[in-house]
Structure 1
């Protein structure tokens, strides 16, 4: 996440972008959460301007709000909100150039490329966002006077079930997945208002086909 931002631009705005933290939404080790809490407390103490934090849309998802990760993110949000002069952006599934095996798409891609069977929750809804678009829209919000103390969903308008997402990943890779369907749901559709409002002036294409373009950007033939 941090690599997507221009450090000089952030410094010029007198802002702090906190892009460190627990990278696995399935984490349950208290030590991982405490590490982020300690880093956050130090960053809040040092920051003199707007503080930007990335949370998760799952904090309002009935299926995932009670997970240790979502509960932790709620606590971090509360610390930042108590400090004031903040911008908290709740994100869906982030996609970018990362070796993190815990991201949804990296998990799917690794299993498909390795011929490892997947279990797909047929009704589970997920939404993907490009890390570069997070940075572009966040910078636009900071540079164009968005009022402080906002906690917002930042998510594109395309949400789909995992059963719908899997064929797009297969098409991108040119490979067939080995999978079984599990009749389970979960997930929610985040509010796309902020994304759709600020994507055009930030130079982000929010038109239909967003997810397909995103997958091709990071997992298409040029990245084999």
Structure 2
């Protein structure tokens, strides 16, 4: 059973013994409590409807971002994680970083940057800010690998092995789209690390710059 229609949900096929819960609040700046309540109600409803199935919940690595730790979004996601741990017989909670793929929310970082660069718009960037980008197909493969392993009832950080500085992302867009970006740079931004040393997955591309270039060629060129 697939709950959701977004970027991650589209990577999976229906299976009677697995619930993929990929629907809910995706905007980390969300403040409307009704949106959080809608997701909570759907989680509870789905848990009650499929009590014996493995419950896969796609959470967020934003919990490691000190600038968002006390946000309503992060507190809500942590609450959903606890709800699932307490009520699901078998579960996998996958904390995903910034998934990149075809389509998806237009306000996702890479979609936003691609749109601004292609339209020759001016972009204000924070030089010290980093983001962790992970191919949505890697998210899919990691999920399926953990399902097959029966290594369940745990929280897994699903992220690439290194972060990317925003200027590195802009530069890769320029090189791979053969475009020049209008940039206003500010000496601001935060870096936060995501611990992936326990992630049981081997990325095909280990070089961060090659991995980034591949994402842009694959989804934006």
Fold match by TM threshold 0.5: yes
Aligned-pair distance for 1:93?
0.6
Of 74, 77, 81, the residue aligned with 1:77 is 81
Q: Do structure 1's residue 50 and structure 2's residue 57 form an aligned pair?
A: no
Instruction: Kindly indicate whether the alpha-carbon contact (under 8 Å) linking 1:62 and 1:187 is maintained by their aligned counterparts in 2.
Output: no
Give unpaired runs (5+ residues) of structure 2.
Answer: 1-7
Aligned-pair distance for 1:99?
4.5
Instruction: Kindly indicate whether the alpha-carbon contact (under 8 Å) linking 1:64 and 1:187 is maintained by their aligned counterparts in 2.
Output: no
Instruction: Kindly indicate whether the alpha-carbon contact (under 8 Å) linking 2:12 and 2:140 is maintained by their aligned counterparts in 1.
Output: yes
Give unpaired runs (5+ residues) of structure 1.
Answer: none
Of 176, 179, 189, the residue aligned with 1:175 is 179
How far apart are the structure 1 equivalents of 2:98 and 2:170?
A: 14
Aligned-pair distance for 1:81?
1.3
How far apart are the structure 1 equivalents of 2:70 and 2:205?
A: 31
**What is aligned with 1:100?**
105
Q: Which structure has more helix as a fraction of its residues?
A: 1
How far apart are the structure 2 equivalents of 1:64 and 1:185?
A: 13
Instruction: Kindly indicate whether the alpha-carbon contact (under 8 Å) linking 1:63 and 1:187 is maintained by their aligned counterparts in 2.
Output: no
Q: Do structure 1's residue 62 and structure 2's residue 61 form an aligned pair?
A: no
How far apart are the structure 2 equivalents of 1:24 and 1:172?
A: 28
Q: Do structure 1's residue 21 and structure 2's residue 24 form an aligned pair?
A: yes
Instruction: Kindly indicate whether the alpha-carbon contact (under 8 Å) linking 1:154 and 1:194 is maintained by their aligned counterparts in 2.
Output: no
Aligned-pair distance for 1:180?
0.8
**What is aligned with 2:154?**
150
Change (3 A) 1:206 1:213: same
Matches within 5 A, 1:1-224: 1-7=8-14, 10-11=15-16, 14-47=17-50, 48-84=52-88, 85-146=90-151, 148-195=152-199, 197-199=200-202, 204-208=203-207, 209-220=210-221
